[in-house]
Chains A and B, each alone.
Chain A
Amino acid sequence: MASQEILREEPSRGSFVNDPKVRSLFFQAVVVVLLVAGVWWIAQNVIANLTRLHIASGFGFLKGRAGFDISESAIAYSSDSTYGRAIVVGLINTIIVAVVGIITATIIGFIIGIGRLSQNWLIRKICTVYVEVFRNIPPLLVIFFWYSGVLAVLPPPRDSINLPFSSFLNQRGFYFPRAVWGDGSWLIFVALLVGIAMAWFVARKAHQRQMATGQQFPVFWTSAALIVGLPLLAYALSGFPLSFDYPKQSTFNLTGGFQVSPEFLSLYLALSCYTAAFIAEIVRAGIRGVSKGQTEAAAALGLRSGSILRLVVVPQAMRIVIPPLTSQYLNLTKNSSLAIAIGYPDLTATAGTVLNQTGQAVEGVLIMMAVYLILSLVTSAVMNVVNARMALVER
């Protein structure tokens, strides 16, 4: 009886100083006090400094007239626009270069990564050299190399290099024909959307039928015919409304066409080349992560090598690839802030100019941080959805 009584008692901890709960509370209290004191001290200093410099805090400055020009803008912008609009222009430029860069880097990265696993010795070595070179030099250096080392020493506009499809390359960038959409061209876009929707529907039905009956349906060719054919049909029906505005040589410059600035071009090429090296390594690790037994089992089932790759290896490799691929996409987006070094007006550059002009350092840096955090979160969210669809469905 007595022993049971003793067991039911709380075990003695000696002094309460040794109680983990008390200790944890004490440490956290210390941390909170230090943090609050630190923040209060910083806030005091910031307020004192701002009053000394006569800077009004708050985000009201965003409505002020910007007064500086931005060389590239996807939306209407002039020096009479507001600071807020300047920052939005920068944000759009960041998104453009990030999206285009991500697509290109993924394509190059997959090619190089698969090349590193090739049976072919020469291809393997070429891909290894690519990866080892680009992984080990700073991205900023790659950007400078494209900008000052390659694009800046191209010939001046009157000796432009002619490329296929009446496009031109010179010091001032890359020129290619601009599509001019005439009346009734909306029909083409509608047809394209309809084509994509129908292709998706066909793919779904074909998949259901194959699951139910085992009969296959040539999904790829049907989809290709729908997505390409319908817009072409619409193009013909609406009376060929599409024409091209070709860049033309004039005495000092090229006129017409669509111009891609050297700043954008070098940032885009550098980010794609640099990130592709990392993506290649991820792809290689992913494919090697699929056990050999899977390939062999698929071969034993009588699948051809193409089908083995498409149906067995790639879906399993994607599971390994997607999480690190996400962080590479985030890295590329963040690295696009290096644009400031060559004068491409991305978010960091425009926000930096605004910050310098208005002296609103705190707000400027906060906006930059917030926007990049949101971009990161959105990219992560999208990739998490993709990852969830790819993930192993277990019982």
Chain B
Amino acid sequence: MQEHDTSWVRTEMALAQPAPASVRGMGAWVRTNLIGSVGDAILTIIGIALVVMILPQVINWAFINAQWTGPDRSVCATVAQGGIQADGWSGACWAFVNAKFGQFMFGTYPIEERWRPILVAVLFVALLVPMLIPRVPRKGLNAILLFLVLPIVSFVLLVGGMFGLPHVETSRWGGLLVTLSLSFVGIAVSLPLGVVLALGRRSKMPIVKMLCIIFIETVRGIPLITVLFFVSVMLPLFLPAGVTFDKYLRALIGVSLFAAAYMAEVIRGGLQAIPKGQYEGADSLGLGYWQKMGLIVLPQALKLVIPGIVNTFIGMFKDTSLVIIISMFDLLGIVKQNFSDANWATPQTARSGLIFAAFVFWLFCFGMSRYSMYTERRLDTGHKR
């Protein structure tokens, strides 16, 4: 018998074949993602119908038919309404936003002094951007400048009355200036206050613990409007006759206290998630209470709850719009106030103004939430599974 010597070993790898046509390319993507089953196909049709119904109208209204510039209401009103547009015209009145842009940003801040809020904004951005980029060095110095020096400089610049700067009443502040300054100070105050409240709630001292619980649960149980009512109506009663509080300061106190209660609960969640061994380890090293918390527990706890903290920030940023109730004019307030301007009163004005305000709010909130997702990924050191 002849031995089989036809055995053959292939010396080079077979070339990779492309995936079959049924699982690649546009066709396959459409099959799996849009018309996977009968139900899917029906949903896709409904979805397309929805998009086709809404999107062209929105684009038409916001861009194609929109009026971008103009002196007064006539550009945004139809002939029947006393304007120049054909009957049945419907489009955004960006001319209104354009004309009022200065007010929307600064309120009734004197025009010749507006370089001051602009300078503050430039400083803020110049300090914030390096703070947010992890690779930029000198974070400590940056934080001191941002959270200690900048507020003082901003206070001097915005309020004035010293160094030759004319005084500007806070009642003349408005628009985005109020929204941003309220939320920045609110964030800077509510975070440390929230940490203190959270530590107090977990304290072993019964009286301190009880006071913290009462404060947190009361504030969380009532709407912000009630808190604002409280600070605007009751604070004056609490002070000796003749002592008055600036309205802006009152709003600041209300918003900060409110956010601090929510912040405290978020941080408490983080504190509870730290294993007991960490506390005991710190104790066995002979660290005191504040050393233990500041060096061991809080850095880990705060890292765990970054998403919650940023959510609270976003909530607070949105909540600043409620100061309209105690007749302060933040971005939303000033937009709404301008609806009543007879020069610009058209059916499109309110929509356009509100959509502009919504866009500004949305930009800030969306930015914050995206940045928090980025930080969460960056700081994820593998504790979470």
Contacts and interface: CB of A to CB of B under 8 A. Distances in A.
A242 interface: no
Interface in A358-384: 361-362, 364-365, 368-369, 372-373, 376-377
B321 interface: yes
Contact of A368 (B33, B229, B347, B355): B229
A48 B238 CA distance: 10
A318 B207 CA distance: 37
Top 8 A-B pairs, shortest CB-CB distance: A136-B365, A148-B350, A121-B33, A334-B223, A138-B318, A122-B47, A149-B351, A337-B223
B33 A119 contact: yes
26 contacts: A27-B208, A45-B237, A48-B241, A118-B43, A119-B32, A120-B43, A120-B44, A120-B47, A121-B33, A136-B362, A138-B318, A138-B319, A138-B322, A141-B332, A141-B357, A149-B350, A334-B222, A335-B223, A337-B225, A338-B225, A355-B233, A361-B234, A365-B233, A368-B226, A373-B221, A376-B220
A291 interface: no
A299 interface: no
Contacts of A335: 223
B76 to A, nearest CB: 12
A49 B226 CA distance: 21
B43 A123 contact: yes
Contacts of A163: none
B306 interface: no
Contacts of A184: none
Contacts of A52: 241
- Decide if the interface of chain B is mainly helix, strand, loop or mixed: helix
Contacts of B318: 137-139
A31 B40 contact: no
Interface in B291-342: 314, 318-319, 321-322, 324-325, 332, 336, 339
A361 B366 contact: no
Given A28-B205, A141-B358, A361-B233, A373 B218 contact: yes
Given A28-B207, A136-B366, A137-B358, A120 B225 contact: no
Contact of A120 (B33, B224, B319): B33
A153 B332 contact: no
B239 interface: yes
A365 B44 contact: no
A120 B332 contact: no
Contacts of A246: none
Interface residues of B, number: 57
B322 A140 contact: yes
A207 interface: no
A327 B213 CA distance: 17
Nearest to A27: B205
A258 to B, nearest CB: 27
Given A362-B234, A365-B234, A141 B321 contact: yes
B358 A372 contact: no
B40 A120 contact: yes
B196 interface: no
Contacts of B237: 45-46, 49-50, 361-362
Nearest to A336: B223
A157 interface: no
B354 interface: yes
A369 to B, nearest CB: 5
A340 interface: yes
Interface string A116-150: 00111111001000001101111111001100111
Contacts of B123: none
B289 to A, nearest CB: 9
A271 B232 CA distance: 25
Of residues B32, B229, B339, which shows the largest number of chain A Cβ atoms within 10 Å of its Cβ?
B229
Contacts of B32: 119
A352 interface: yes
A133 B236 CA distance: 39
A138 B347 contact: no
Interface in B350-369: 350-351, 354-355, 357-358, 361-362, 365-366, 369
Interface string B363-380: 001100100000000000
Contacts of B322: 138, 140, 338
Contacts of A350: none
A215 interface: no
Contacts of A337: 223, 225-226
Interface in A264-292: none
A137 B361 contact: yes
B155 interface: no
A161 interface: no
B18 interface: no
A24 B230 CA distance: 33
A341 B324 CA distance: 8
A119 B40 CA distance: 8
B361 A138 contact: yes
A339 B10 CA distance: 79
Contacts of B274: none
Contact of A144 (B222, B241, B336): B336
Nearest to B40: A120
Contact of A373 (B205, B222, B366): B222
A160 B319 CA distance: 36
Contacts of B43: 118, 120, 122-123
Contacts of A46: 237-238
Given A153-B347, A368-B222, 11 more contacts: A46-B237, A120-B43, A122-B44, A136-B362, A137-B361, A138-B321, A138-B322, A138-B332, A148-B350, A153-B351, A376-B222
Given A137-B358, A144-B332, A120 B34 contact: yes
B64 interface: no
Interface string A309-353: 000000000000000000000100011011011000000100010
A334 B112 CA distance: 41
B33 to A, nearest CB: 4
Contacts of B222: 334, 368-369, 372-373, 376
A32 interface: yes
B204 interface: yes
